Amino acid sequence: MNNSQKVQKAKVGVAGSFFNQMMSNNATLPIVGKGATQMHYTDRSCFEVIEVSKDGKTARLESLTASADKTQQGGHGHQNWIFTPSGYFMTVQWRHNAWRQKGQRVMFTDKYAETLGAGFHGSDDYNKVYIDGKMVVVEGITELITEWHKIKIIFGVKDFHYDWSF
């Protein structure tokens, strides 16, 4: 694995949890079998690192479901958490000096988008593209694109937090 430093920097003081903003400024690296914590506006969700590329720039994570350990006493947000694998996976990659989540989306091709008009909703193409309300890939009409969304994450810890006040 490549241990070159990857320092992510988050803007502090904009909005959300100050603690989450501070945790977002780190230089941690993903290690298989260790945890990861994604910081949201005020909440934090946990993952297990499943796979890391040789260059250390890509990691596959499995989301963990957190439930309160009923055998331990704790108040809102201060439970001893039990983590269980959810079966939901995501890929993160170090790109443009930040960890980013890989996602995919179906959208109209540029060429087809130029031809779209007001009558599309009742057309045969509409019925090909939307199956059960979901947009699908149809050759010449739509395509699957990859998107990268910046995330705030710290590796090596599982620090779940749910803000009960929202």
pLDDT tens digit string along 139-162?
A: 999 999 999 999 999 999 998 887
pLDDT of residue 165: 64
Residue-by-residue pLDDT tens, the chain, 166 positions: 455 667 766 655 555 676 777 777 788 899 999 999 998 888 889 999 999 999 999 999 999 999 887 777 665 555 678 899 999 999 999 999 899 999 999 999 988 888 876 667 767 888 899 999 899 999 999 999 999 999 999 999 998 887 766 5
Alpha-carbon distances of 16 from 36, 74, 159, rounded to whole Å:
20, 24, 17
Q: How far apart are CA 42 and CA 33, in angstroms?
A: 26
**Under 8 Å CB-to-CB from 34, ≥6 apart: which residues?**
48, 49, 155, 156
Q: What is the pLDDT of residue 133?
A: 87
Mean model confidence pLDDT for the chain: 84
Q: Do the Cβ atoms of 47 and 87 come closer than 8 Å? A: no
Q: Give the whole-angstrom CA distance, residue 150 versus residue 93.
A: 9
| CA distances (Å), origin 7, targets 4, 33, 71 | 10, 21, 39
- Please count the other Cβ atoms lying within 10 Å of the Cβ belonging to residue 59: 24
- Is 8 in contact with 31 (CB distance < 8 Å)? no
Q: Provide the pLDDT for residue 16.
A: 64
According to DSSP, residue 126 is labeled H
Give the integer Cα–Cα distance in Å for 140 and 114.
Answer: 12
